[in-house]
Structure 1
Amino acid sequence: MKLIVLHGPPGAGKLTLAKRLKSALGYNVLHNHLSVDLALEVYPEFGQDDFFDFIDSLRSQAIEKACQNKMAGLIITFCFDLNSDLNVVKKWESIISDYGGSMLPIYLDVSAEVLAQRVENPSRNGTKKVQCPDLLHTLLGENQFVAIPNENTISINTNALCEENATRLILEQVL
């Protein structure tokens, strides 16, 4: 199985591009908020107690189940934080490797200014995604949303790319 890890800060366009990749590749999408939203239903507030451990467990189980079900590929979206998520990604890579698959991390590099515009996009309304530039600024200051340190990581600057061109660049790397 091929695990494509689309990662970047909030507002980078991870889910938007994941949907386009799903259409092009036929891979299912395990997007960030599937697990976050589930956790928010069973925890009083974001980040409380073992909130992140619970999310990490859900994602790892889903990746392993996809491998067991012999899926050709899976796309996961993720706000990778170098300070807290390196072991999580290593676990995913280990799971994939145990089943003879491979992981392709793709970092969506976007400037803080463009992110601030994107988080106010009406498409985010009605979701639990970051929608406020002030909250985004706080998150960018508290976290290191950087490219996953992996020899296979691809970095794509999407500041000025339309969805179609960003998808094409990713597909060139995947196919």
Structure 2
Amino acid sequence: MSSSAHEDPGPGNAMAPTVFLLVGPPAVGKLRLARELERRIGAIVVDNHLVNNAVFVPMGLGRGGVALADTDALRARVLDVVLEATLAAPAPRSHVFTNWLPEDPENAAHVERLRTLARRRGARFVPVWLTATPEALLRRVDAPGRAERSKLTDPAILRELLEVPAMPAPADALGLDLTTLTPDGAVTRILEAATAD
């Protein structure tokens, strides 16, 4: 294993346990930032496809005969297990959750559930709301590798999703526009927010 991947941070990089929540539209770069947080501080990545693909893949979503709404109940059960496992993780661990959250009371409750999870773990909670211009998102949506993780790759569907109102950021959220901000720069700002008093 290389010294930069999937390792706990050394003493010089140690930081208090943190639950990061990266929220933004498809193709904004959530997983890329999460992987960089994993590389830099050893955070455990719990991206939305960990939950979704456990249901989407065996149900054959996208192959006809299954609508997204048909997966809701099973995905909720998978999420319960994932959050229970996160709570059981060793106390020093940090976690990075990713999601796209349209404006909806259930999604607002999900954010508060993660905030409570962080508190129960004795961890800091850092919500990060990510944006980019529609043009930037449409350029990125069919990038190589997205289909391998059952991510959205259809620009027409993305255009429809971008018409759905996004959930407003909580008052304590860090907002980042990733239209031109590099992933490295974005993660530096996220870590600065996580360590600010």
Identify the TM-score tier after normalising by the shorter chain. Answer: 0.7 to 0.9
Letter paired with 2:120: D
What's the CA shift string for 1:61-83, capped at 9, x where partnerless?
A: 32332222224210011111222
Match of 1:76 in 2: 97
Distance 1:169 1:56 in 2: 31
RMSD: 2.0
Match of 1:24 in 2: 40
Matched, 1:163 2:183: yes
Displacement of 1:54 = 2.9
Distance 2:148 2:85 in 1: 30
Displacement of 1:144 = 2.4
Matched, 1:136 2:158: yes
Matches within 5 A, 1:10-159: 10-43=26-59, 45-49=66-70, 51-71=71-91, 72-83=93-104, 84-141=106-163, 143-148=164-169, 150-159=170-179
Contact 1:108 1:158 in 2 (8 A): yes
Letter paired with 2:116: S
Displacement of 1:10 = 0.2
Displacement of 1:173 = 1.3
Displacement of 1:168 = 1.6
Distance 1:131 1:20 in 2: 22
What's the CA shift string for 1:77-113, capped at 9, x where partnerless?
A: 1111222411222222223323333321101111111
Q: Structure 1: any 5+ residue segments left out of the alignment?
A: none
Distance 1:46 1:14 in 2: 24
Distance 1:124 1:65 in 2: 26
Contact 2:18 2:194 in 1 (8 A): no
TM-score (norm 2): 0.78
Distance 2:148 2:88 in 1: 34
Over the matched positions of the two proteins, sequence identity in percent amounts to 22
Contact 2:118 2:124 in 1 (8 A): yes
Q: Which of the two has higher C-alpha Rg?
A: 2
Once the two structures are overlaid, the 10-residue window that deviates more, 123-132 or 31-40, is 123-132
Match of 2:20 in 1: 4
Q: Structure 2: any 5+ residue segments left out of the alignment?
A: 1-16, 61-65
Distance 2:77 2:108 in 1: 14
Matched, 1:173 2:193: yes
What's the CA shift string for 1:119-138, capped at 9, x where partnerless?
A: 02123243311112111011
